[in-house]
A and B are shown apart, each in its own frame.
Chain A
Amino acid sequence: MRRTTAYGFLFTVLLASACKKVIDVDLKSATPQIVIEGNITNAGGPYEVKITKTVDFSAENVVPPVTNATVFITDSTNGISEKLIQADSGIYHTTILFGVSGHTYGMLVNVDGQQYTASSTMPRRVPLDSITFAENVNFNNQMEINAVVNFQDPTGLGNYYMFTEYVNGRQIPDIFVFEDRLSDGRYIQEPLFNDSAYLQKNDTLVLTMDCIDQNSYNYFYTLMNVTGNSNFQSVTPANPVTNISGGALGYFSAHTTQRAAISVY
């Protein structure tokens, strides 16, 4: 419902005439903080836990990998646990685990004696029915093509979805999440409104649909609120709500995933 909020509309009106300029701001530097991204899916492994650190705002967009971590993932439903292997610098891989819907996974990361833990339960997979396209007027007053995801939300609250678009092989940096809080049991036809790049006819669109748990939804929803170019005056910015305890940024998510490729029409 991001675009359907009132202030989305206000921006159009206001910022049509607004002037923009890049300014220098003097931002303090912060002690580097551990950032963990861990994913388990229902597709085959290996699964990845990526550990990096924050950098100062003025630095380049290159984050230092954390190479001295020990990482364990446990399938607490069947008791299988493994220590991950560092496959690339800061990227830790599983070798034996296999993601199953309904199983709860625990992650334990140790860096310099500090422990970070998280757990996530993989929801059941909700099949993507189809991808269609719709034309909508965007807030720059131009027609834009949006992909529409069509699927049946199962009855019962607590379904959370995340979509990612790759256009001609490039990932679109917009976050699309959807919850069934106001849509339980509906046939969902939800347009994915792009903030940063638009679809063109005959582009190749690859779309992934992940069924995520509530914590992951909260993470990506709060991340979405503070990223993207349309974040003019929405909420007071804060770090996204993480499910990792111990003081790290990032998330650990067990989710189902499916992908579809289609030519934009």
Chain B
Amino acid sequence: MAIGQNRYTISGTVRDKKTGEALIGASVNLLESPERGILSNSYGFYSITAPAGHYTLLITFSGYQPDSLPVDLVHNSTLPVELDNVAGQLAEVVVSAQKKNDNVTRPLMGVQKLTTREINNIPVLFGEKDVLKTIQLLPGIQFAGDGNSGFYVRGGGADQNLILLDEATVYNPSHLLGFFSTFNSDAIKDITVYKGGMPAEYGGRLSSVIDIKMNDGNDKDYHFGGGIGLISTRLNAEGPIVPDKGSFSMSGRRTYADLFLKLSPDSSVNDNSLYFYDLNVKANYKFDEKNHIYLSGYFGRDNLAFGNTFGIDYGNATGTFRWNHVFSSRLFSNTSLIYSKYSYKIRINSENNNIGFTSNIRDADVKEDLQYFVDADNKINFGFSVIHHTIAPGIIDASSGSSFNSLTLQNKYSLENAAYVSHEWSPAEKLHMNYGLRATNFLVLGPGDFYSYDSAGKATDTVHYNSGKIAKTYTNLEPRWSLSFQLNEENSVKVSYNRNTQVLHLLSNSTSSNPTDLWIPSSNNVKPEIADQESIGYFRNFKDSRYEFSVEAYYKSMRNEIDYKNGAQLIANENVESQLLFGKGRAYGLELFLKKKVGKFTGWLSYTLSRTELRIDGINQNNWYPAKQDRTHDISLVGIYQASRKWTLSAIWVYYTGNAVTWPNGKYIIDGQTAFYYTERNAYRMPAYHRMDVAATLQGKKKKKFESSWTFSIYNLYGRENAYSIVFQTDPNDPTKTQALQYSLFRFVPSVTYNFKF
């Protein structure tokens, strides 16, 4: 109890007792004032300031045994906390009633977190655990369809998601034609999805932030693990560099679909290759309680080749160096140096034509984030970031006998600057808020020629800027705020508003994402995209927080959205900006979410009712039309059942309204061939998509150090033929008729994976 007016701070890091991994988002409270408290930050750091006195510090974290520690707050002190992992224990975790209702009390809206347990148990295609696929089972996050790793958040496009891996932007999160994401779940510690109410430290994309953190590695013992599946093998290793001071973690995987291709007796198939690999590495070292450095990297590459005639390889490489510094027990700093690159190369070889086409985007960032823990009711976050973007839109390297000229399109340089400040504040016991402002400043840099275009897309003027000169500046202020009002222990209402801007745009005139899609920066012709989103929600927990329910409604308006002229030439085109059309968008919807968090049976039901429309000058007679990703209904049902100590069963079912598509309303003959007549953009719907997947995991006998498990799964259990594409054509059997032909992928894909660790 308070015995004086002096205020002192207790701070430290929350870690896993067995592995030393920092725990992100652990709830830290003083038992004596349970309404007041904070969450540990991305590095596990917490800091609480209170009047001098004797307190009990209560630390809780999902899946861990809560801990309470007596604290004599008579001077500033540090208190490292270690929690015991109870995951895998059958008995229902009994946690003190307090602080399981963070979802109700926190002002965060539109935020979803997934635990590794959920990710590990949810069935996926070919048994490849995949965080990006799993988050698509959450409300407001829409699966883009079989064979497409893109996803849509609250009506935004696939390029409007900021995907961060240890703070580095991952420009293309997909492998192998989009069937897999670039995130090897062995390497991943934490994933947080913001689909609205983004905190001010994030920016650069309109729709969402997917913040993925890699494992730090066990700083106590060496461990090895891996898995063997039908299409890939994974291996990982972790261990101390210096016990309790530093550790490393490495994870790699490679697919071997092409090994099966090689078995084919057809010699032409033998020349094909189809594989990807990726490698995550991380190391960290703690100099003392105040200084901690981290180095993390990701490298992945896909290689697809078609005989000797055609090949493409593409991939991301990222690197992050971070330095955590505790200036004082209340001021936490992280400084990051980040590098990210995405590149692809296409090779085309025939007798006379040997052509290589490459393109890449490279980022170098400096980022500083500071958190000032004023007291249990006030926290101030502030910082800045500077990102230098270099985009090489295309380099054609043609042999001398080729039909094509060698060509290097000019590089595009730009600087994306941002500064932010936000305040997390609890002005009253039941009222929590987080408000802030992000200021962004985008500089389009020389050297380069900058063109102006007339309405027909002809260049009317060219201005040359030398290196270092600024061709165009865009400055935007992005206010963000969210507020929660707690009605009682179990009920709260939240509202939020945020503005986001986006200065990099992905050009893709095909209806699904491709590795060759082109990133372009804003310029004199292309303005930054701007979105304003308001949302309101009701959050409720039932039965001592065993169940969690929420309903959120959102309205989002978007400006400077990009579409393409008919027949747009996006590849190797210096005047690519002349091929674009601009307009606006609006998206609104209602999201319902019911989750059972604890017990033998866990899972959730998510339902989204939504509408997304675009109005682009020059498309659909300038009328509003449904965006491709407009989904009236989207349902996900997830169940995980711990049947016994050995068996875990799980199933998911998804249903969504088919994508909006453009189909012909008539036909005619041109040059003797049938052509189709289109009158309205996206006026039709693909058939509804639905699918059920099931999985069963069998835990092997635990030996001294060795653990293993088998996972059996079936994707698309009832063999639904979901439409991948619907094509209109002349009936091959009756040339006087036309027909609609539906293509579908993946009926019943069984898989088995063996996982081990020691």
Stretch at the interface among A48-56, A70-78, A102-110, A255-263: A48-56
A6 CB contact (under 8 Å) in B514, B569, B667, B730: B514
A30: CB under 8 A from chain B?
Answer: yes
Interface residues of A in 104-163 (CB under 8 A from B): 134, 136-137, 139, 141-143
**Shortest distance in angstroms between A90's beta carbon and chain B's nearest beta carbon?**
11
Name B268's contact: one of A54, A141, A239 (CB within 8 Å). Answer: A141
Q: Tell me which of A17-25, A81-89, A91-99, A198-206 binds B.
A: A17-25
**Residues of B close to A1: CB separation below 8 A:** 571
Q: How far is the CB of B48 from chain A (nearest CB, A)?
A: 53
Look across to chain A and name the residue whose beta carbon is closest to the beta carbon of B352. Answer: A189
B602 at the interface (CB under 8 A from A): no
Q: Which residue of chain B has its CB nearest to the CB of A56?
A: B666
> A7, A19, A221: which contacts B510 (Cβ < 8 A)?
A7
**B668 and A238 contacting across the interface, CB-CB below 8 Å:** no
> B86-94, B396-404, B464-472: which lies at the A interface?
B396-404
> Is A223's CB within 8 Å of the partner chain B?
yes
Contact residues of A between 1 and 52, Cβ < 8 Å to B: 1, 4-7, 9-10, 12-15, 17-25, 27-30, 32-33, 35, 37, 52
The residue of chain B having its C-beta at the shortest distance from the C-beta of A143 within the complex is B268
CB proximity of A215 to chain B, nearest CB, Å: 11
Is B671's CB within 8 Å of the partner chain A?
yes
Chain B residues lying within 8 Å of A238, measured Cβ to Cβ, are 566, 662, 678, 681
List A contacts of B487 (CB < 8 A): none
Q: Give the chain B neighbours of A222 by CB distance below 8 A.
A: 566-567
A186 touches B147 (CB 8 A): no
A236 interface neighbour in B662, B665, B735, Cβ under 8 Å: B662
Q: Is A241 an interface residue, CB under 8 A from the partner?
A: yes
Counting CB contacts under 8 A, is A185 at the interface? yes
A22-B739, A30-B679, A186-B402 are contacts. A235–B666 as well, Cβ < 8 Å? no
Which residues of chain A have C-beta atoms less than 8 A from B665's C-beta?
27-30, 56-57
Are the CB atoms of A10 and B743 closer together than 8 Å?
no
Q: How far is the CA of A32 from the CA of B668 in the complex (A)?
A: 10
Residues of chain A within 8 A of B306, CB atoms compared: 9, 12, 137, 139
**Cβ of B673 under 8 Å from chain A:** yes
- Residues of chain A lying within 8 A (CB to CB) of residue B79: none
Within 8 A of B (CB), among A165-189: 171, 173, 181-189
Contacts of B567 in A (CB 8 A): 218, 221-222, 225, 235, 240-241
Known: A22-B741, A189-B352, A218-B567. A236 touches B671 (CB 8 A): no
Docked pose: A173 CA to B266 CA in angstroms: 29
B510 to A20, Cβ gap below 8 A? no
Does B622 reach chain A (CB closer than 8 Å)? no
A56 to B674, CA, bound (A): 12
**Chain A positions within 8 Å of B677 at CB level:** 30, 33, 54, 239, 249
B5 at the interface (CB under 8 A from A): no
Q: Assess whether B688 is interfacial by the CB under 8 Å rule.
A: no
Complex Cα distance, B729 from A32, in Å, reads: 20
Tell me the complex Cα distance, A24–B401, Å.
49
8 Å CB contact of A35 from B662, B670, B739: B670
Given A182-B396, A186-B404, residue A234 in contact with residue B510 (CB < 8 A): yes
CA distance A187 to B304 in the complex (A): 29
> Provided the pairs A142-B268, A183-B404 are in contact, do residues A63 and B669 lie with their beta carbons within 8 angstroms?
yes
Q: Is the CB of B666 within 8 A of A55?
A: yes
In the bound complex, do residue B515 and residue A6 qualify as a contact, i.e. CB atoms below 8 Å apart? yes
In the complex, B721 has a CB within 8 A of chain A: yes
Instruction: Encode A218-248 as 1/0 by CB contact (under 8 A) with B.
Output: 1001110111010111111111110000000
B741 lies within 8 A of A54 (CB) = no
Q: Check B404–A57 contact: CB distance below 8 A.
A: no
Nearest residue (CB) in B for A178 is B403
Chain A residues closer than 8 Å to B339, beta-carbon distance: none
User: A214 to B199, alpha carbons, bound, how many Å?
Assistant: 50
Contact residues, B368-413 vs A (CB, 8 A)? 396, 401-405, 407
What 0/1 pattern do residues 622 to 638 of B give for CB contact below 8 A with A?
Answer: 00000010000000000
Which B residue sits closest to A220, measured CB to CB? B671
Chain B residues with Cβ below 8 Å from A6 are: 312, 346, 514-516
Q: CA separation between A60 and B674, bound complex, in Å?
A: 11
- Chain B, 617-674, CB within 8 A of any chain A CB: 628, 662-674
Partner of A61, one of B671, B726, B736, B743: B736
Chain A residue with the shortest CB-CB distance to B746: A17
Q: How far is the CB of A224 from chain B (nearest CB, A)?
A: 9
**Any A CB within 8 A of the CB of B95:** no
Q: How far is the CB of A85 from chain B (nearest CB, A)?
A: 22
**In the complex, what distance in Å separates the CA atom of A73 from the CA atom of B683?**
38
Contact B741 A25 (CB under 8 A): no
**A23 touching B511 in the complex, CB below 8 Å, given contacts A30-B665, A181-B569, A231-B727:** no
With beta carbons under 8 angstroms apart, the residue of A4, A141, A184, A191 that contacts B266 is: A141
Asked if B350 is at the interface of the complex by the 8 Å CB criterion, the answer is yes
Query: Cα distance A78–B326 when bound, in Å?
Result: 84
Q: Which residues of A contact B679 (CB under 8 A)?
A: 30
**Nearest-CB distance from A159 to chain B (Å)?**
13
Q: Are the C-beta atoms of B404 and A61 separated by less than 8 Å?
A: no
Which residue of B is nearest A239, CB measured? B678
B111 touches A (CB below 8 Å): no
- Shortest Cβ distance from residue B254 to the other chain A in the assembled complex, whole angstroms: 18
Query: Contact between B403 and A189 (Cβ–Cβ < 8 Å)?
Result: yes
Which residues on A sit within 8 Å (CB–CB) of B727?
229, 231-232
* B740 contact from A19, A22, A139, A226, Cβ within 8 A: A22
Give the CA-CA distance A53 to B667 in the complex, in Å.
9
B512 near A23: Cβ-Cβ < 8 Å = no
Q: Is B85 an interface residue (CB 8 A)?
A: no
CA–CA, A171 and B674, complex, Å: 13
* Residue B71 at the chain A interface, CB threshold 8 Å: no
Contacts of B259 in A (CB 8 A): none
Pairwise interchain contact A4-B348, C-beta atoms closer than 8 A? yes
Which residues in A have their C-beta under 8 angstroms from that of B736?
60-62
Residues of B within 8 A of A9 (CB): 304, 306, 310, 312
Q: Name B147's contact: one of A14, A223, A240 (CB within 8 Å).
A: A14
A215 CA / B136 CA spacing, docked (Å): 44
Interface membership of chain B positions 297-317, coded 1 if the CB is closer than 8 angstroms to chain A and 0 otherwise: 000000010110110100000
Bound CA–CA A136/B268 (angstroms):
10
CA distance A39 to B674 in the complex (A): 18
A238 to B739, CA, bound (A): 18
A4 touches B346 (CB 8 A): yes
Given contacts A54-B667, A236-B681, A238-B662, contact A183 B405 (CB under 8 A): yes
In-complex Cβ contact of B309 among A23, A63, A137, A182 (8 A): A137
B678 close to A19 (CB less than 8 A):
no
B166-188 to A contact mask, C-beta < 8 Å, 1/0: 00000000000100000000000
- Is the pair B666, A29 in contact by a Cβ cutoff of 8 Å? yes
Of A14, A20, A185, most B-chain CB atoms within 10 Å: A14
Given known pairs A54-B677, A136-B309, the reply for A24 and B740 (CB within 8 Å) is yes
A4 touches B730 (CB 8 A): no
Q: B54 at the A/B interface (Cβ < 8 Å)? A: no
Bound state CA distance, A18 and B628, in angstroms? 23
Which residues on B sit within 8 Å (CB–CB) of A37?
Answer: 670-671
State in angstroms the CA–CA spacing of A191 and B355 once bound together: 14
User: Would A182 and B405 be within 8 Å (CB), given that A20-B741, A37-B671 are in contact?
Assistant: yes
Residue contacts A-B, CB under 8 angstroms, 5 given: A4-B346, A6-B346, A7-B512, A29-B666, A142-B268
Q: Which 4 residue pairs across A and B have the least CB separation, nearest first?
A: A30-B665, A222-B567, A54-B666, A54-B668
18 new A-B contacts, CB < 8 A, other than A19-B721, A235-B568, are A22-B739, A22-B742, A24-B740, A37-B671, A55-B666, A57-B676, A61-B667, A61-B730, A134-B350, A141-B269, A173-B672, A182-B405, A186-B402, A189-B403, A229-B727, A234-B509, A236-B511, A250-B670
**B interface with A by C-beta (< 8 Å):** 147, 177, 266, 268-269, 271, 274, 304, 306-307, 309-310, 312, 346, 348, 350-353, 355, 396, 401-405, 407, 509-512, 514-516, 564, 566-569, 571-573, 628, 662-679, 681-684, 721, 724-730, 735-745, 747
